[in-house]
Amino acid sequence: MKKQPDLFILIKSMTQAEKAYFKKFSRRYGNTANLDYLSLFDAIDSQADYDEKKLKKRYQTEKWIHRLPVLKRYLTGAVLRALRNFRESHDDVDVNIAELLANARICFEKRLFALGNKFLEQARQLAIGEEMFSQVIEIDLMFANQLKTLPSSERARRRETLYEEIREMLRKQENFAELWRLGWITLDQQAADGVLRQQREAFVLEEVLSHPLLAAPQEASSFKAQIYIYNIKLICYHLLGNDEASFALQRELLAIYESTPTLITRQTKDYLVALHNYLSNCLSFNILEEAPSLLNKLQHIPAKSESLRIAQFESYHLLALMYQCKKPDKDTGLRLIHDLDLGIFKYKDKLQQRRLCGSVFYAANFLCCIGCYDQALAWISRYELEIDSGITPDLTAFMKLLYLISQYELGHYTHLEYMLRNAYYHLRSNERLYELEKSFLQLLRKLIAAPDEKSRLPHFAAFEAALASIIAQPLGQKAVNGYFDFSRWAAAKRLGKHS
């Protein structure tokens, strides 16, 4: 997928209301003598993909096209200025705090100290309510600069109060920073090994769980930190195979949000993550009866920003396709895949790559489940050509196996030997050649050497026995059926079914 320039992505990310406001704002407050950048804005917005050569050719008679590099820089600044102003009229805490601080600075310059301090206190209360520790420190330091305007007796008391609050904010910030570090260790492990295959991979997560902050969650210095602890622990437990502990934490976290509706409104993104994790674990546990209602909740979260709408799109389609792989319905699944295709085209570079990898993988997975192997190969090809699959080595390895299954099911035996060698070298060089992968590759070699369907059946039975042996090992169940249900596929083939 071609990388698009930042200005193009910025313009394409704007809503119709934002675009209309930008033009109105530019004509009212911009340089009315030179509005060439508005022509450039329209020209870029009209393109489906940014192509500077076509742009220069189409507008070669326009004077502004010869100043394109300068005009692009100016347009970027103009768009951002307009969007900042647009956000001021909306309920955005960051913007509201910045506006209150700007008001306070103006008042202090005019020596209106009492009024300036009122603005500061309003900003401080907002920042404390949103647990914005660095902003509270900045506000307290602005208060400190005004201490000279207070009587000496009140000055000492106020200075001590500010000092203690700044120390407390720094402590909370340090507390959250350490949790943030632990969170990224966990997420990195999850990205590299969505299904743990070796004990050394588990040691990393066990060390995270033994950290004092996680061992004693009451040490969390803020609500934000408490939520972080929940998320770190539930991911660790899930990867380590302690699904019951992970599931209990997810249910508890979701209940915290849903018992306080204002939390969902104020922290919609965090609620979306909590709902995503809970539903994902329901699917892992095969608790499928809850899935439709949870998917409905996920689909109808009130997403007020484009960023949230994109996150909602990613999460919903990934989990809905996972559900379809568990309980296939051909029409529903194909409709989801069609909608996913449209969304990938619509959002392009804005999509989170790991979620996108997952959605494309489960699209191919579902198509294999319903026997549409040609279409599965098309999605596998997209996975390899259009997506940064290097960030998901676990999914990429299993996608190689889906590719081989599709080729086998389509009867492409002539080239399958070459494809097997290619897959073997890929898995070996990426350290993904585990017992499951070895058994599967051996199965396919035997299958293509067998003269007919009847003689292939014992090989499927032997493969089932190998799967049972792997499942009996620690971490084995998720390896065999965590991404693709090899047990179901092998049983179906042994019984002479298509999938």
Task: Identify the residue with better confidence: 333 or 270.
Answer: 333
Residue 33: the pLDDT is 52
Q: How many CB atoms lie within 10 A of CB 482?
A: 17
Residue 138: the pLDDT is 93
How high is the mean pLDDT of the chain?
Answer: 87
Provide mean pLDDT across the span 57-66: 88
Task: Reply yes or no on whether the pLDDT at 89 is more than 60.
Answer: no
Dihedral sign computed on CA atoms, order 421, 425, 426, 431: positive
Task: Identify the residue with better confidence: 465 or 234.
Answer: 465
Residue 91: the pLDDT is 58
Residue 349: the pLDDT is 75
Instruction: Report pLDDT digits (tens) over 485-499.
Output: 899 999 999 887 655
Task: Reply yes or no on whether the pLDDT at 423 is more than 80.
Answer: yes
Which of 214, 235, 223, 217 has its CA nearest to residue 280? 235
Residue 197: the pLDDT is 65
Q: Which of 107-111, 154-158, 349-353, 422-426 has the lowest mean pLDDT?
A: 349-353
Task: Using the structure block, give the residue that is written with the tokens 């619509």.
Answer: 346
Q: Which long-range contacts (CB under 8 A, 24 or more apart) does 33-42 make?
A: 36/62, 36/63, 36/64, 36/67, 36/71, 37/64, 37/71, 37/74, 37/75, 37/78, 39/64, 40/64, 40/68, 40/71, 40/72, 40/75, 41/11, 41/75, 41/79
pLDDT band at residue 247 using 50, 70 and 90 as cut-offs: confident
Provide mean pLDDT across the span 259-288: 86
Instruction: Report pLDDT digits (tens) over 173-220.
Output: 999 999 999 988 888 877 665 666 677 778 888 899 999 888 776 777
pLDDT band at residue 401 using 50, 70 and 90 as cut-offs: very high
Residue 162: the pLDDT is 93
Provide mean pLDDT across the span 162-174: 93
Q: Which of 63-77, 217-231, 446-460 has the lowest mean pLDDT?
A: 217-231
Instruction: Report pLDDT digits (tens) over 37-48.
Output: 898 999 999 998
Classify the phi-psi angles of 411: left when phi > 0, otherwise alpha if psi is within -120 to 50, otherwise beta. Answer: left
Residue 151: the pLDDT is 81
Percent of the residues in the chain that have a pLDDT greater than 70, as a whole number: 94
* DSSP collapsed to 3 states, the chain: CCCCCHHHHHHHHCCHHHHHHHHHHHHHHCCCCCCHHHHHHHHHHCCCCCCHHHHHHHCCCCHHHHHHHHHHHHHHHHHHHHHHHHHHCCCCHHHHHHHHHHHHHHHHHCCCHHHHHHHHHHHHHHHHHCCCHHHHHHHHHHHHHCHHHCCHHHHHHHHHHHHHHHHHHHHHHHHHHHHHHHHHHHHHHHHHCCCCCCHHHHHHHHHHHCCHHHHCHHHCCCHHHHHHHHHHHHHHHHHCCCHHHHHHHHHHHHHHHHCCHHHHHHCHHHHHHHHHHHHHHHHHCCCCCCHHHHHHHHHCCCCCCHHHHHHHHHHHHHHHHHHHHHCCCHHHHHHHHHHHHHHHHHHHHHCCHHHHHHHHHHHHHHHHHCCCHHHHHHHHHHHHHHCCHHHCHHHHHHHHHHHHHHHHHCCCCCCHHHHHHHHHHHHHHCCCCCHHHHHHHHHHHHHHHCCCHHHHHHHHHHHHHHHHHHHCCCCHHHHHHCCCCHHHHHHHHHCCCCC
Residue 314: the pLDDT is 95
Residue 21: the pLDDT is 86
Residue 363: the pLDDT is 96
Residue 437: the pLDDT is 93
Provide mean pLDDT across the span 291-311: 90
Provide mean pLDDT across the span 286-295: 92
pLDDT band at residue 319 using 50, 70 and 90 as cut-offs: very high
Task: Reply yes or no on whether the pLDDT at 407 is more than 90.
Answer: yes
Task: Identify the residue with better confidence: 392 or 466.
Answer: 466
Residue 335: the pLDDT is 97
Task: Reply yes or no on whether the pLDDT at 30 is more than 70.
Answer: no
Instruction: Report pLDDT digits (tens) over 345-391.
Output: 888 778 888 889 999 999 999 999 999 999 999 999 988 887 776 77
Provide mean pLDDT across the span 454-482: 87
